Amino acid sequence: MSRVGRTSLVLIAIIAAGAGGYWAGRHGPALSATAWQQMLALTGGPSSPMASAAAGPTGPVIYYRAPDGSPAYSATPARTADGRDFVAVHASEEVSFDEKPTDARPAPAIVAPRPILYYRNPMGLAYTSPVPKKDSMGMDYIPVRAGEEPETGTVRVAAGRQQQTGVRTEIAAMRALVRPVRVPGSVQLDERRISVVATRSDAFITKVSDVTTGDRIARGEPLLQLYSPEIAAAGAQFLTELGNGGRGGTGGGARQRLENLGVPPEAIAELERNRKVPPAMTWRAQRDGIVLQRNVTEGMKAAPGDILFRLADISTVWVLADVPEYQLGAIRPGALVTVRIRSLPSRVFDGRIALIYPEVAKETRTAKVRIELANPGGLLLPDMYADVEIATGNAKEAVTVSDSAVIDTGTRQTVILAKGDGRFEPRVVKVGAQGGGFVEIRDGVAAGDRVVTAATFLIDAESNLKAALNGMTSPEATP
C-alpha cells in the first residue's frame, strides 16, 4: 500500500474513534477493558500526549492568563479588551523548576472569625451599639469581637506613646527595709563623770598647782594645798587617838571626823604614816579628765561649799540628737547609731541609743535622744556639732516598690500595674514602712508584679478620665 493510502487509513481510524467516543458519551455504554486497551495502543499508550490531554488539568486554579499567550495575568477571572475570557491555570499546569517534596504538608486550617459582640464609638467615647452604625461625624463604629473587649479598669497605651512619655517599669521584689533617720546633734559631757573640788570647812589656800581651765589632768595629780583650823584640830585628835588606842584610832571617832570634813583618803593615810599634822593639806584629782573650771587663787579664803575646781572625765561622752516628733515612733533604745563629727570628717563613731528623753520641746517639736560614745584619745570635745544617723526598720523582708511607683493623694495610695501589651491597671494599695528609696506594700501588689515607676501621673490621669467618661455615659439604644 502506498504512503498516501496508509495515511488515509490512520485518519479514518482517528475519526471513527472520536465518533465512537462521542456516541458512547451520549448514550452511556462503557468501553470494555479490552476495547480501552486497544484504543490506548492505537493512540500510543497512557504516557502519550493524547492520553495526557484526555486526563485534563488537576489541582486548584492558581491564576488566570491571557488567552492569546501574551504576558498578562490575573489572580481573579478577567477578560481581555475584546471580551475574551482569561484561561484558568491549574496547579498541575504550573511550570516549576523546584524539586517537589516527597511529603506534602497539610494546608493550614482556616480559622473562622470571632463573633462580633458590639460596636464602639470610633472616637474612643463610651458609646456602644449592638448593630453597625455611624457617629455624628459620619464615621463607622468599630466592631469589637470576642476576646477584644477592654478589661474593666485598664488603660491601653501605644508603644510609641510609652516611649514619648518615658514610661518605665520595675518588678516588685522582697527586700528588708532599713530607713535611716538623719538628725543633727552635739557632743556633751557625761553627767556621771563630772566632779568638783570643794572644802567642807573654812580654809585658806596656800598654794595652787600650775593647772588652768582646759588642761588635762591625771588621777592623783596635786591640785592645791590649803590650811583649815578645823581640819588641823581633827588631825591632831586623830594622832592622839592613834597614840592612845593603837592603829586605826577608832576610839574617839577622829578618823570619821576627818572624812566628814572632806579630807582625801590619801591625806589621812599620810597622817597615819608620818604621825604629824602638816601645816597644809594637799588636795589631788580623783579621776582623769580635763579642768572645766578653776575658781581658786593662792592666799584666798574658801568658805565651806565653795567650788575650787570643776573636773570632767571625757573617756566616754554623750551625743544629744534632736529627733522630730513624727519620727520618734521609728526609733528604739539600743538602736545602732553612726555619728560623724563635722570637724573630723574622716572619722566615724559607732554607738547605740541609751535614752529617749521623755519630753518634746514646744518650740522645735523635737525630742532629745542620748547616744553614748567611747572617746579614745579625747577627740570628742563638748559642744562639737555632729551628724547623727539612726538605723530604723525591720530586718524581715517585705514586698517593696520604688518610692516613685506610689501615687499618694493624701487619702489613698495607688500603684500602676503593667499587664503587658500596652495595658495598665491602677491598683489601690496599703503601704507600710519606707526607707532607702523603697516603700513596703502590705496589700494590693505581690512580689513579681511589674509596676510603673515613671509617667505614673499621666497613666493615672488617663485612667481617671476613662472612669469619668464611663460614669457619665451609657450605651446607646439600638437605632
Query: What single string gives the DSSP state of each residue in 277-335?
Result: --SSEEEE-SSSEEEEEE---TT-EE-TT-EEEEEE--SEEEEEEEEEGGGGGG--TT-
Q: Single out the residue of 198, 191, 224 nearest to residue 210, CA to CA.
A: 224
Task: Tell me the mean pLDDT in the region 308-316.
Answer: 93
Q: Decide: 184 and 387 in contact? Cβ < 8 Å.
A: yes
> What is the percent of the chain where pLDDT is above 70?
75
Determine the Cα–Cα distance for residues 448 and 418; give it in Å rounded to an integer.
11
Cell of 383: 559642744
Q: Report which residue type is found at 278.
A: P
Cell of 162: 510609652
The pTM (predicted TM-score) of the whole model is 0.50
Q: How far apart, in Å, are the Cα atoms of 23 and each of 30, 31, 112?
A: 11, 11, 47
Q: Is pLDDT of 306 > 80?
A: yes
Q: Grid cell 514602712 — which residue?
A: 433
Task: Tell me the mean pLDDT in the region 304-316.
Answer: 92
Q: Is pLDDT of 249 > 90?
A: no
The Cβ-side half-sphere exposure at 132, using a 13 Å CA radius, reads 4
List of E strands, 1-76:
61-65, 73-74
Q: Is pLDDT of 122 > 80?
A: no
User: For position 146, what pLDDT does the model report?
Assistant: 76
Higher pLDDT, 416 or 357: 357
Rg of the Cα trace of the chain? 55
Biggest CA-to-CA distance, the chain: 188
**Beta carbons within 10 angstroms of residue 200's beta carbon:** 14
Q: Is pLDDT of 438 > 70?
A: yes
- Return the SS3 of 429: strand
> What is the percent of the chain where pLDDT is above 90?
27
Evaluated on CA atoms 180, 183, 189, 193, the torsion sign reads negative
- Supply the mean pLDDT for the chain: 78
Task: With cut-offs at 50, 70 and 90, classify the pLDDT of residue 177.
Answer: confident
How would you classify residue 435: left for phi > 0, otherwise alpha for psi between -120 and 50, otherwise beta? left
